[in-house]
Amino acid sequence: MNASVFLSNSYDGRSGLGMVRAERGSAGTWTSQFVMEQADVRCLARAGGSSPIAYAGTDGNGVLRSDDRGVSWRMSGLAGVRLRSMAISPHDPQIVFAGSLSALLYRSDDGGSSWREVSSFRRIPNRWWWLSPAEWPPKPSVYAIAFSPTDPQVVLAGIEFGAVVRSQDGGETWSGHRSGAIRDCHALAFNTLDGSWAYQAGAGRAAGAVSRDGGETWRQLTDGLDRSYGWACASDPERPEIWYLSASTGPGDAHSWDHANAHIYRSVGGAGWEKLAGGLPQPCDHLPTSLLVEPGQSGHLYAGLTNGTIWFSSDHGDQWERLPVDLKGIWHQLVMWV
């Protein structure tokens, strides 16, 4: 376990608004504190490598930016926009995308100093029927954005109860829904090294789908899966054929406080899902909202749960330990620095 800093958005109706930051000290003990209290943070993104830069998207108060691994924050545009997802290009950290409620997409080419709406996103085929019941009145949202690690022109975006769409010109124009992907999208991820592998968590006939052609086409995996409401996904950084999924029985359980009825699953080489145990609660009463891996550390997997606990495995999920970290709540996203 190499993580040194965790940062989560803690909006969950119980622990309050804002972000919680936890840092490991020299003696190996962890301390945590609220940062940006009362900021209604809905999504997080951090730059790659050793960069200390991170962004937070809020529900109407715009973008926040940190240049010191989440210690301090400043406003960075898009005031009034209700944000649901953010992502930073691994090829150019000045390029940042932000997705909003009402399924609009915004782009910055200068690290958040200025933003423009990607107008072509409004013209995606068949977007007229995108509609998520998660908001009231019902409306869709861009819930996931993922950049290819190998092709700077390829970007994926997922719409909650809408579509998975793809750009092959750096986000300037977009396709319609990709064949085989789950329309109710909750998370998208590329393998950190191999851009031909992409992964999805969503809700439908299957809770997870995988692509072997950079998100152009997808295959839904159902074998061995006894839950249909997928929420988070990740893949091993060295072995893209190994990937992970968290899933619950449905939205009512998933977003409850203490009866999420969820599990974490693993698929290897396209085979059916294996339910992971090895010390994890069975089932998890709190939804695993985030699954994180460490670049260059095959087998290392972190799971962040809504109650603020973090579980760690060093052997691809066979055995787990609960880390001595209290993040109060992890409503949607967790990021970390090592």
pLDDT digits (tens, 9 = 90+) for 316-331: 999 999 999 989 889 8
Strand-pair partners of 187: 201
Report pLDDT for 14: 56
Report pLDDT for 1: 81
What is the distance between the alpha carbons of residues 76 and 97, in angstroms, rounded to a whole number? 13
- CA 122 → CA 117, 164, 166, 174, 205, distances in Å? 10, 14, 14, 10, 27
pLDDT at 13 over 70: no
185 with 227: CB under 8 angstroms? no
pLDDT digits (tens, 9 = 90+) for 163-187: 999 999 999 999 999 999 999 999 9
Report pLDDT for 166: 98
pLDDT digits (tens, 9 = 90+) for 195-225: 999 999 999 999 999 999 999 999 999 999 9
- The set of residues, in sequence order, having a beta carbon less than 8 Å from that of 84 and lying 6+ positions away, is 42, 43, 57, 99, 100, 101, 141, 142, 143, 160
DSSP designation for 92: -
Encode 282-298 in three state secondary structure.
Answer: CCECCCEEEEEECCCCC
Element (H, E) at 254: helix 251-254
Tell me the fold of 5-337.
Answer: Methylamine Dehydrogenase; Chain H (2.130.10)
Return phi, psi of residue 172, to 5°: -80, -35
Mean pLDDT value of segment 107-133:
94
| High-pLDDT (> 70) share of the chain, % | 98
Q: Which residues of 88-121 are buried (b: 16+ CB within 10 A; e: fewer)?
A: bbbeeeebbbbbbbebbbbbbeebbeebeebeeb
What is the distance between the alpha carbons of residues 127 and 242, in angstroms, rounded to a whole number? 33
